[in-house]
Amino acid sequence: MGLLLGTLQLFYPLLIAAVVLFIYALIKQSWKLMLISAILLYPDAWYFSGSPRFPWAIFVPLIQVVLAALFYLKKRKFK
């Protein structure tokens, strides 16, 4: 994790990309984009969960995974 967020300096780019994809996925109701957003947010959530103030932060990407499942089931229901 130190290589990804520290050495490569990808903390803010991953966070910004995850938020932008999250908003776009909500607008489009795309389950694929929501899963990509959750994957991009996971390293930042893992980093924040190491803090004693935010041990629950590791579970934040699960919100996106649940939304992706709901979008998938909704799209599958209409087909």
Please report the DSSP string for 58-75 in residue order. Answer: GGHHHHHHHHHHHHHHHH
pLDDT band at 47 (very low <50, low <70, confident <90, very high): confident
With a cut of 80, say whether residue 39 has pLDDT above it.
Answer: yes
Query: Do 34 and 71 form a contact (C-beta atoms < 8 A)?
Result: yes
pLDDT confidence of residue 11: 85
What region does 51 belong to: left with phi over 0, alpha with psi -120 to 50, or beta? beta
pLDDT confidence of residue 8: 78
Strand spans (E) along the chain? none
Q: What is the mean pLDDT of residues 68-73?
A: 95
Query: Do 51 and 10 form a contact (C-beta atoms < 8 A)?
Result: no
